[in-house]
């Protein structure tokens, strides 16, 4: 299990039908400028940002706050960890934006990952496990001294964290858009939960800015 002191929170922007991207998985932001500001504020509060390989590969940018958007955030004393849980590895992604001195890139996956190639092409350290999963990924981050881990999706990773009872809070921006499409990714994918065991949330905060709703939930019974 990860260290008890670890606080794990997710941030996702969804359409009103719960989608986080289109069926074509375009490279698009669903939220407004305010959603972007909130995203950067939540990043600024994290020691590490954890994502699934699909999200990281498609976005292709270092995950770090932009101080121009959150001038109130104290400057970092060390790079923020970008941790990517992946089976395939990241050697097939657009690598033009890496390495980046603002982030320490950790690639977390199985024994088949090529550590030397990730170091050479992305400046990334590879950590391997015979059966990589979210519990192990969080243990790695806790062992590196992280206290606050922001999960920026996608739906596959968030489903696994909920299933494992390892997500403490969910920040969700409900955007005034309809995406549709049965195969469009949603905020929580995976196999789904049985009706008798749906994760239950407690609303901690609700803020409206124009047509967007900023929701913050605690996950009941986490850990």
Ligand X SMILES: NC(=O)c1ccc[n+]([C@@H]2O[C@H](COP(=O)([O-])OP(=O)(O)OC[C@H]3O[C@@H](n4cnc5c(N)ncnc54)[C@H](OP(=O)(O)O)[C@@H]3O)[C@@H](O)[C@H]2O)c1
Note the residues at the interface with ligand X (CB under 6 A). 12-13, 20-21, 25, 30, 51-55, 58, 85-88, 109, 132-133, 152-157, 160, 185, 189
Query: How many angstroms separate the CA atoms of 198 and 194, rounded?
Result: 6
Do residues 166 and 10 lie in contact, with contact meaning Cβ atoms separated by under 8 Å?
A: no
Nearer to ligand X among residue 62 and residue 153 (C-beta): 153
Q: Is the peptide bond before 99 cis (omega within 30 degrees of 0)?
A: yes
Tell the smallest beta-carbon distance from residue 3 to ligand X (Å): 20
Distance in Å, CB of 130 to ligand X, minimum: 11
19's tokens:
């989608």
- Least distance between ligand X and beta carbon 77 (Å): 27
Identity of the residue, 53 or 62, whose beta carbon is nearer to ligand X in the bound complex: 53
CB 208 within 8 A of CB 151: no
Which residues are CB-contacts of 68 (< 8 A; sequence separation ≥ 6)?
none
How near is the Cβ of 162 to ligand X at its closest, in Å? Answer: 12
Q: Which is nearer to ligand X, 62 or 109 (CB)?
A: 109
Is the bond leading into 154 cis (omega within 30 degrees of zero)?
yes
Between 2 and 153, CB nearer to ligand X: 153
């Amino acid at each position: 299990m990860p260290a008890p002191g670890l606080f794990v929170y997710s941030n996702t922007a969804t359409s009103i039908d719960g989608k986080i991207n289109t069926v074509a998985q375009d490279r698009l932001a669903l939220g407004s400028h305010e959603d972007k500001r909130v995203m950067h504020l939540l990043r600024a509060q994290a020691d590490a940002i954890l994502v699934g390989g699909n999200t990281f590969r498609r976005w292709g940018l270092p995950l770090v706050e932009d101080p121009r958007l959150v001038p109130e955030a104290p400057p970092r004393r060390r790079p923020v960890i970008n941790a990517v849980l992946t089976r395939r590895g990241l050697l097939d992604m657009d690598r033009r934006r890496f390495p980046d001195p603002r982030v320490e890139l950790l690639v977390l996956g199985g024994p088949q990952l090529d550590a030397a190639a990730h170091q050479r092409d992305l400046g990334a350290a590879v950590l391997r496990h015979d059966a990589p999963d979210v519990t192990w990924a969080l243990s790695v981050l806790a062992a590196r001294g992280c206290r606050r881990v922001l999960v920026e999706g996608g739906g596959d990773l968030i489903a696994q964290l909920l299933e494992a009872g390892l997500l403490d809070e969910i920040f969700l921006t409900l955007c005034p858009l309809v995406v549709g499409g049965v195969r469009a990714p949603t905020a929580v994918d995976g196999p789904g939960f049985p009706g008798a065991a749906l994760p239950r949330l407690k609303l901690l905060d609700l803020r409206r800015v124009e047509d967007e709703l900023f929701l913050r939930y605690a996950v009941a019974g986490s850990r």
